[in-house]
Every structure is written in structure tokens, then in C-alpha cells.
Structure 1
């Protein structure tokens, strides 16, 4: 049996104010082509199908169209809900979907597999929707569920119990932080219960393969436990990380091979750090004109209207940060103390510039201009 593992589509997520629906549609179209070219039997979507619990109307056609296209390409599709999804919204139409498409959102379905046969017999797919301990603990009396580790552990116990009775090959699907995983700061919404709540790797013992979701970057925790990551980049913290899916082959005895399949990157992300003038004019940056750009300019003083000026060169500049090359020298004086220590208006203005420029006062040319303005005002006041 050939299986494609994907996750974290986050349909409806924006990127610095820009819609990602068109880009995601192109990438999911490429994923459908992977299914067709590689004769995939089963596609797994391991949670966070939508980016929010209340996705906009425009998000639903992309989901339903992609699921139908995957089924038309010859695959069975198994979808589970993640922490971004509303299980009720994602699962409400599951009974109306084509029989090739299964959406698992009910916690009480844990331990009841979707069984698909191949030439070697049955393969049991155990979908585990995102389980919030505080919400689901009442479903299983006598079981302590205060953390993600305990909750996923209990779910996997149900899986192993059922698998022991059925026998055969199996795949588990879950959405969580697994111990040893490397998260992208500021990207994945942390699944917490008092603190970062990692699920120990031994919890996933048993199945031939474990398809995980929640982490946006491709990661391999063991030969049989992996994250596929998100199909597109949703943060500059993900820049450079490959986008794609895992292609898994099961033979008669279990896991036979795992191969990574790259997906196209609609618009690469890059962080450019240089002086403002270099960002605007250095030919070395010409290659990044059509990329998403995070610009960090290193001038000692902030620039006027930097975003508009940078977008004249980089139309896809999404964010600008002022990151001076030299750290501010702290003289221990606050703005109020500098003003009180000033002996005249020139020094008051210099104190203000030192404050707003994070340590750099007026230049010689600016001091000359300030003196001229103040002298002209003095003459005007004297005449009046």
C-alpha cells in the first residue's frame, strides 16, 4: 500500500496581510498530481486543515475541491482535525462526503479504525483528532487526563488495544508536540497545559507508521514517526525549510520505505539585512525582487516611510525592521534628565533627537540648521 502523509494546510491563513488561498490552491494542485503520478492509495491529512475555528466562506471550496480531486486521482482520503480547526465545522458534513473521504473529528471514534485492504490484507488507520484534555476528560471515566501527554497516551492505548484484537498492519494519525521535535518560534500555536506539553516518543509505539501534524517543518523523530509540515511557508521563520509530503510504502510485513516528495514554493522567503541605501540600490539584491522580503536596515537612525520606499524595489516586501548595526550606548540618562540638563534650546532639541534615534543626537549639519532656525525665530520675536 502506498500512502501520502500531509498536514497543516491552514486554509484561510494570511501572510502579513496577504491572502494565501491562491498560492495554497496551486500547491495542493501539485499534491494531487503527486498522488496521480505515484499511484497513491491513501492520503492522510494530519490536522489543522483550516487556520481558524470559523473559516471564511472562500475557504470551503478549496477544501472540498481538493478532497474531491484527491479521490478522483484514485486515493482514499483520511482527514483529522487539529487545534486550529473547529471539529464541529470540519466534521458536520462527513456523513455526506463520498465514501472515499473520511473525516475524523469525534473523540469517541479513537480506537475505531478506517480499514483499507490491499493485496496483503487489511491496513488499519487510526485517526486521533486534536484532544483538548479539559474538554474530553469527561468522556473516559476513571482516566486522568490533565495533559496532552496523558491524553494522547490514553488514545494510543485505545489504538493498541483494538490493534491487538484485530491484528495486521496499522497507521496512527495525531496532532501534537512530540518529544524531540524542533518547533519554529512564533509559528506553531503551542498546545499547552501549564507549559509546553510534549508527548514522549514511546507513546506512539505499536503502529507501523505514525503521521503527525502541528509542526510546520518536515521532521523525522524515528523511522516510523514523522511530521510532514505545512505545504506552504506561513512565516519568515520557515524560510528555507522544504515543503512537501512523505510517501510511505507498506509491504506484507509493515513499513517498507519512506520517501520525501518536494512541493513547489510559490514565492520564496528571504531576509535581507543591509544599510537602507544598499537595500534600495545594491545590484546584489536584484535576485530577490520577486520574493517575499523581510527587510532589516542597519542605519543608526530610523528612515522616513521605509515600507513604501522598499516596496518600490521589492513589490513583495512584507515587513521592515530597523536593526542598527551598532548597539545603542546607554549613558544611564533618561529623556527627562537630558532635557533638565540642557542649557539652551539647541541642547533640548539634541536631547529629543538622542531619545528618538536611540542614542544618536544631531549631526553637525543638523546642529547648524537648528541654530539658523532658532536665530531666525529670535530675530522675528525681537521685531515684534
Structure 2
């Protein structure tokens, strides 16, 4: 049996305010092409199909079309819910969907109810563990003494392995789980699932099955031969520099036969650039970045006016802008340290200098004095004594 492991679609997510639905649709279309080209039997989606619990109508349309194309390409689908999904909404009509080859595992009571499929070597049991919020999950699982993510996932896997013992000898096993497993490396785009400061669970929790398809972390990662993150199909932060991919997993009569990584197309490249605004707008070297989603750090000594609008005349997909002047100020002071011993006027002048990178002009200083007096600061030269 051949499986395609993917996760963290986050359909409906934006990238620094930019709509990604067209990019998401394009890369999910490619998954259907892979199913057909590589003769994939089952597609595993390990959580976070959507980016929010109540997705927009457009996001639902894109996700539904992707699932339809995967099914039409010839694959069965096994999906579990992630921390971004509404498990109840994603799992609606699960019993009816199962008849059409879409197997949704989004509830605690279905953890030990596998999707049972057959190949020439016999049965394969595929278990879906949805994202388990520790406090409600420990009560739903009947283990009120369980602590954190490790406790509830340990109980979930106990149920999985107990069910496996009742299956036909030689039954191979696959688990989908949405969790932060120790050894995984996060990125800037994942939402924390920390509870009491602890969000990671040891990989040993998942011992005893042939393959574990993990979701939650957005970079493709191998924690053990049978324990892997596929990562998201698109980059959702500038920290995600590795090429996106899926895992193609083969099972034979003995269990896991092999895993191959297949890279996905990039609808639009990400790039970061640093320099002065005029240089970025005029130097031919930067022209190659005009088609990228771009993060820009400006180093002008004075903050440029209307910088993003000007940047987008050359880089229409610039989405993120920071200003870090060359030779800029050091570490920020606490408020009490920044104002102690300064007059009201000096504090106002320092604020302008910090924001703009240049001291206020005489005209601006006169306006500040007038504004302070109008605000009831009878003596703008009064020292702060905090």
C-alpha cells in the first residue's frame, strides 16, 4: 500500500495580509497530480485543514475542491483535525463521507476505531488522533489524572495499541496525530499549544506502530524512520526556508518498506532583503526579486516617508517592512529609565527622534511646546523626578 502524508494546509490563511487562496489551490492541485502519477492509495492529512475554526466560504470551496480532486485521482482520504480546526465542523457528516472514501477522525471516541483498508498483503489499520486539548481531553478519555499533552496522548496510544491486539495477526498500523513531538523544530508560523509551559511529547509515546504521520510543525522533518512531519505545503512565515514537500510511504507485508520525500512546486518564492530605500529601488541587482513575496529591512538613517508604497512600485509583492537604521540605538530602556530626569519637552523630542531617526526641527520644537502648554503642562521644561 502506498500512502501520501501531508498536513497543515491552513486553507484560508493570509501571508502578512496577502490572500493565499490561489497559491493554496495551486499546490493542492499538485497533490492530486502526485496521487495519479505515483499510484497513491491513501492520502493522510494530519490536521489543520483550515486556518481557523470558522473558515470563510472561499476557504471551504478551495478545500472541498482539493479533496474532490484527490478522491477522483484514485486515493482514499484519512483526515484528522488540528488545533486550528473546529473538530465538530470538520467532522460533520463523517459517517456519510466515509461511504465515498473520505474518512474523518475528529472525535475522542473514534481514536480506537481505525479505517480498515486492504492490499495484497492483508489489512492496514489507520488510526486518527485529533488534536487533544489536555484539560477537556483527559476527562473525555476517562483519565482525569493525566498531565498535559503527554498524558492524554499516552492514553490515546494505549487505546490504539489495545485495539491492534484484537486485529488479525499481521495487520499493519498507521497513526495520524497532531502534536509537538520532542526533537521537532518549529517555525514562526505555528500557534503555540503550550499548556503550563509544556507542549512537547516524547516520540516514545508513538512506539509500537508501523508509521506515524505527524502534523503541527510546518517544516518537513524525520524524527525516526517511522515518525515524521510532512510540514505545510506552503511557507507561512519567512523563517520557513526549506523546500516544501510530502512523504510517500510504502508498506509491505512486514510493515514499513520505505519513505521518500517529494518536493512540491512553489507558487511564489519568498525572499528577504536589506538596504537603503533608494538602493533597493534603483540597483538592477534587486530586479530579480520583483516576483517574490518580500520582507524588507530598511537601513536608512532617517525613516523614509511612505516606504511601503514606494517599494511596491518595484516589488508588488512586498508584504513586510522593518526599519533598522545603520548605527541605530542600542537596547531599549524601560519607560521609567527613559523619562527619569528629563523635561516633558525632552521626552517628546526623544520620542520623535526614536520613531523617525532624526531630531525635530525648530519649527517642530515650537509646535511641541505649544501642544504641551495647551495640554495643561504649564511648564514644559519641568523635570520628571520618577
TM-aligned CA deviation for residue 327 of structure 1 = 3.3
Per the alignment, do residues 142 and 201 of structure 1 end up closer, same or farther by CA in structure 2, a change over 3 Å counting?
A: closer
Report the counterpart of residue 151 of structure 1 in structure 2: 152
Paired residues for 1:178-193 under 5 Å: 178-185=181-188, 187-193=189-195
Paired residues for 1:193-272 under 5 Å: 193-238=195-240, 240-272=241-273
TM-aligned CA deviation for residue 82 of structure 1 = 0.5
Report the counterpart of residue 322 of structure 1 in structure 2: 323
Give yes or no for the alignment of 1:172 onto 2:157.
no
* SS at 1:55 equivalent: coil
Cα distance in 2 between the residues matched to 1:145 and 1:253: 34
* SS at 1:58 equivalent: helix
Cα distance in 1 between the residues matched to 2:83 and 2:344: 54
Q: Give the TM-score normalised by the residue count of structure 2.
A: 0.87
Cα distance in 2 between the residues matched to 1:157 and 1:195: 25
Larger Rg: 1
Q: Is the 8 A contact 2:211 2:227 kept in 1?
A: yes
Gaps of 5+ in 1: 343-347, 372-384
Per the alignment, do residues 338 and 46 of structure 1 end up closer, same or farther by CA in structure 2, a change over 3 Å counting?
A: same
Report the counterpart of residue 10 of structure 1 in structure 2: 10
Q: Is the 8 A contact 1:236 1:269 kept in 2?
A: yes
My pick for the range that moved more, 262-271 or 89-98, is: 89-98
Paired residues in the alignment total 360
* SS at 1:9 equivalent: coil
Q: Give the TM-score normalised by the residue count of structure 1.
A: 0.87
TM-aligned CA deviation for residue 341 of structure 1 = 9.2
Cα root mean square deviation, aligned: 2.5
Gaps of 5+ in 2: 366-386
TM-aligned CA deviation for residue 352 of structure 1 = 6.8
Report the counterpart of residue 89 of structure 1 in structure 2: 89
* SS at 1:237 equivalent: coil
Cα distance in 1 between the residues matched to 2:87 and 2:77: 17
Cα distance in 1 between the residues matched to 2:40 and 2:90: 24
List per-residue Cα deviations over 1:179-217 (Å, max 9, x = no partner): 0111113x1111121113111010010111100000011
Q: Is the 8 A contact 1:6 1:228 kept in 2?
A: yes
Q: Is the 8 A contact 1:339 1:351 kept in 2?
A: no
Cα distance in 2 between the residues matched to 1:173 and 1:231: 17
Per the alignment, do residues 104 and 350 of structure 1 end up closer, same or farther by CA in structure 2, a change over 3 Å counting?
A: closer
